[in-house]
Amino acid sequence: MCREKAERTGEKPFPRNLFFIGFMGCGKSTISGKFGELFSMEQVEMDERIEEQAGMKISEIFRVHGEKAFRDMETEFLRGLCCRGGLAVSCGGGVPLRKENVELMKNSGKVIFLTASPQTIYERVKDSSDRPLLEGKKNTDAIREMIEIRRPIYEAAADFRISTDGKSIEEICREVYEQARR
């Protein structure tokens, strides 16, 4: 990659934001974190930051306030990010469901749609208890169904798409770099 050149010249290869979207378990947190590390970008984990601001876990926000309140929190959080630059943002899986969120992301950077097969996602999330939308539905058929519902929304929001199946974190970051620099 061009990390060495960026370090030598002080150039920021991505002065605008990069927003990583996709279904839960597709690798948004891992890839945005590594990418941020490689290119000296601040990594922002939306779900974690919203939990900090709300003082409760997302599953608790869903239970106490409902999904709409959580989605409103996501939109407000995005508004705050979009006046900044140079962020590698791991978005919650539902962020692109709102047109306003997509507009906010596109106006301040590029949107990267990370994909993974239902089996890969199942393997990554099967032991997690922090996935309220998967409660009682942790199986590849249910995951496939949810992915198919969201896929057109993710595709419409994305500037480009990258599969994470069977690739190393470095390979995925290299693909993101190459696509995002275009």
pLDDT digits (tens, 9 = 90+) for 31-86: 999 999 999 899 999 999 999 999 999 889 989 999 999 999 999 999 998 788 89
Q: How far is CA 101 from CA 19, 90, 152, 158, 164, in A?
A: 11, 13, 15, 12, 24
Q: Which two tokens stand for residue 24?
A: 């839960």
Closest CA to 61 of 69, 93, 53, 46: 69
* Amino acid identity at 54: A
- Using alpha carbons only, give the angle 59, 44, 105 rounded to the nearest 5 degrees: 95
Sign of the alpha-carbon dihedral angle for 79, 84, 85, 90: negative
Q: State pTM to two decimals.
A: 0.87
pLDDT digits (tens, 9 = 90+) for 102-123: 999 999 999 999 999 999 988 8
